[in-house]
Amino acid sequence: MSAEYPDAALPDSASPGSAVLSVRDLTVTFPSDAGPVQAVRGVSYDLMPGEVLGIVGESGSGKSVSSMAVMGLLPKTARTTGSVRFRGRELLGLPEKEMTAVRGKRIAMIFQDPMTSLNPVYKIGWQLSEAVLAHHDVSKEVARKRSLELLEIVGIPSPDKRIDQYPHEFSGGMRQRVVIAIAMANDPDVIIADEPTTALDVTVQAQVLEALRAAQHETGAAMVLITHDLGVVAGQADRVLVMYAGKPVEIGPIDGIYYQPRMPYTVGLLGSLPRLDQRTQEKLTPIPGTPPSVVNLPPGCPFAPRCPLKSDVCLRTEPSLLPVLGAEHQAACHHSDLLAYEGAMDVFSTDPNAAPGQGPQGEQHLGEEPGQSPDRAPRQEPGQAPGQEPGQETGGTTGQEPGRPPGQHPGQDRRDPGQDPQSGAAQ
Ligand SMILES: Nc1ncnc2c1ncn2[C@@H]1O[C@H](COP(=O)(O)OP(=O)(O)OP(=O)(O)O)[C@@H](O)[C@H]1O
C-alpha cells in the first residue's frame, strides 16, 4: 500500500446515511520547468446519496483536476495525495482494472465536449444499447426499448427516428443529452458533470440542465456539477463549493452561498452574474484582476491581490476554511465577519478613483487587522434605532440582498439558464 494513499484496502461498503463519495485533503501537483504546478491544494468534501454539489470557480482554480483525480484520469506525471473514498472504498492507488470497473458502472463522468464520450462511427441507438447491455442481463430488443425511453427522458424529440442516426446528425446540445442518457443507462451512484453546458448557448444550456435534472431524478444518483458560472448551479445544487487557486474558499448550502456569502471571492462571483432585478441589471461588477499562477504561490491569501478587504494579515497568512454560519457553511477569509453587514454585496463596486484602501463605503480597510477597527460597525440606516442591525425591522440580519423578497430562492431572480430571459418561462 502506498504511503500516499492510506487505507487503500478498505472494504467496498458504507454505513447507511454516510457519504457516497468522500474526498479528504486531496492535493494534485504537476511538475513543470517553472516549478511544481500546485493545481489542487487540499480539497475535502462529502457527497451524500442523491445530493447535488456544485463546484464553482474561475478557469484554472482546480475544479477539473480535482474531479479527474477522483476518477483516476490524471496523466501519469501528476502526483496525487489525500484520500478519495467511494462508498468507503479508497480509490486513490486502486489498480487500473478495478478503477475501470468503478468508472464504467458506479461513477459516470460527463465532459464539456460530448464527442469525448460519443463514438462518431456508431449510431446513437447502438451506443446506448451497448451501455444498457453492459449493465443489465437483457435481450437486444429490451435494450433498444430502454434506449428509446432514455432518449425520451432527456428530451430528444422523435426518439424512434433519432435512435438510428449518427452523432454528427445531432446538434451540440442534443449530443450532450445523449451523453446524459448513456450515463443513465450505466445506472451510476455518482455523476460528475464537468462544465456540461459551457459550450452551449443559453437556451440549449437550459435543456441540458433539465436533462441532467431528469437523469438525477431517474437514477437517484448523487451529482458533482462543475462550472465557472454560479448561475448554472442556481436551482440545481443543494450545496456549493467555491474554489480559488486550487483550494476550497467557501462551502455551504446554496441559499447561504447566495444570500450570505462570507468570502469576498464568492461575493465577486455573484456580482458578475446577470440578475433579473432592476438594481444590479444596470451594472454587473466583474472581479478586478486575474487569478494567480499556481506555480510558486506567494504566502498569504491567494485572493488578497484582488480583494477590497485585504489587510496585512491576508498578505502573511493563508486563511483556513472555518465555520461561519453553523458547521455546514465554511469560509476561508480573515475578514468574513465584515461581509455580514448591509452593503457587503457591493464590496467590489468601489469607486475606482477612491484612495487605495477605501472600501465600498469609503471606510478604511487596508492594513487593518481583524477586529482592529472599532468604527467598522454596521452602518446605521436612516430611521434605524441605535444598536439595531440593518434589516432588523424586516426580521433581523439575514444577509439577504436588498430587493429580494424573504424566502425567495436565488434561482428565482437570477437569470437562471432554465428560464427565458424575456418571459421568465421555462424553455
Ligand atoms: N496536465 C497538466 N500539467 C500541468 N498543469 C496542469 C495540467 N492539467 C491542469 N494543469 C494546471 O492545473 C491548474 C488547474 O487546472 P483545472 O483544469 O483543474 O482548472 P479549472 O478550474 O477546471 O479550469 P477550467 O475551467 O479552465 O478547466 C491550472 O493551472 C492548469 O494549468
CB 262 within 8 A of CB 325: yes
| Distance from the alpha carbon of residue 183 to the mean position of ligand 1, in angstroms | 24
Counts of helices then strands in the chain (DSSP H, E) = 13, 12
List of domains in the chain: 49-76+94-228 (3.40.50.300), 261-287+294-372+408-427 (no CATH)
| Distance from the alpha carbon of residue 61 to the mean position of ligand 1, in angstroms | 7
Is the C-beta atom of 40 inside 6 A of ligand 1? no
Q: Which residue has the higher pLDDT, 288 or 384?
A: 288
Is the C-beta atom of 61 inside 6 A of ligand 1? yes
pLDDT-derived band at 17 (thresholds 50, 70, 90) equals: low
pLDDT of residue 337: 92
Q: Of all atoms in ligand 1, which is nearest to the CA of residue 228? A: 25
pLDDT of residue 282: 52
Per-residue model confidence as pLDDT tens digits over 261-282 = 999 999 999 987 765 554 444 5
ipTM above 0.85, yes or no: yes
What is the distance between the alpha carbons of residues 214 and 20, in angstroms, rounded to a whole number? 20
Taking CA atoms only, the protein residue closest to ligand 1 atom 16 is 62
Per-residue model confidence as pLDDT tens digits over 294-331 = 998 989 999 999 999 999 999 999 999 999 988 999 99
pLDDT of residue 129: 96
Taking CA atoms only, the protein residue closest to ligand 1 atom 8 is 65
Per-residue model confidence as pLDDT tens digits over 340-389 = 886 777 777 754 444 333 444 434 343 344 444 333 333 333 333 333 33
What is the distance between the alpha carbons of residues 17 and 233, in angstroms, rounded to a whole number? 24
Is the C-beta atom of 63 inside 6 A of ligand 1? yes
Is the C-beta atom of 27 inside 6 A of ligand 1? no
Per-residue model confidence as pLDDT tens digits over 113-155 = 888 889 999 999 999 999 999 888 999 999 999 999 999 999 9
Q: Does the global pTM surpass 0.90? A: no
| Distance from the alpha carbon of residue 37 to the mean position of ligand 1, in angstroms | 9
| Distance from the alpha carbon of residue 42 to the mean position of ligand 1, in angstroms | 15
Is the C-beta atom of 91 inside 6 A of ligand 1? no
Is residue 300 classed as helix, strand or coil in its secondary structure?
coil
Taking CA atoms only, the protein residue closest to ligand 1 atom 10 is 39
Per-residue model confidence as pLDDT tens digits over 168-227 = 999 999 999 999 999 998 889 999 999 999 878 888 998 999 999 999 998 999 999 999
8-state DSSP, 401: P
Instruction: Specify which residues 80 forms β-bridges with.
Output: 28
| Distance from the alpha carbon of residue 30 to the mean position of ligand 1, in angstroms | 10
Output the nine-digit C-alpha cell for 172: 451540440
69 membership: H or E segment, kind and range: helix 63-71
CB 403 within 8 A of CB 409: no
Q: Which residue has the cell 472581479?
A: 287
Pocket test for ligand 1, best of 56, 64, 111 (most atoms within 8 A of CB): 64
23 membership: H or E segment, kind and range: strand 21-30
Pocket test for ligand 1, best of 29, 30, 33 (most atoms within 8 A of CB): 30
Is the C-beta atom of 332 inside 6 A of ligand 1? no
Output the nine-digit C-alpha cell for 187: 445506472
Is the C-beta atom of 127 inside 6 A of ligand 1? no
Is the C-beta atom of 60 inside 6 A of ligand 1? yes
Taking CA atoms only, the protein residue closest to ligand 1 atom 11 is 39
Q: What are phi and psi of 424, to 5 degrees?
A: 80, 0
Contacts of 212 (CB under 8 A, 6+ apart): 110, 180, 191, 193, 196, 223, 225, 236
| Distance from the alpha carbon of residue 39 to the mean position of ligand 1, in angstroms | 6
Is the C-beta atom of 111 inside 6 A of ligand 1? no
| Distance from the alpha carbon of residue 101 to the mean position of ligand 1, in angstroms | 26
Taking CA atoms only, the protein residue closest to ligand 1 atom 17 is 64
CB 185 within 8 A of CB 409: no
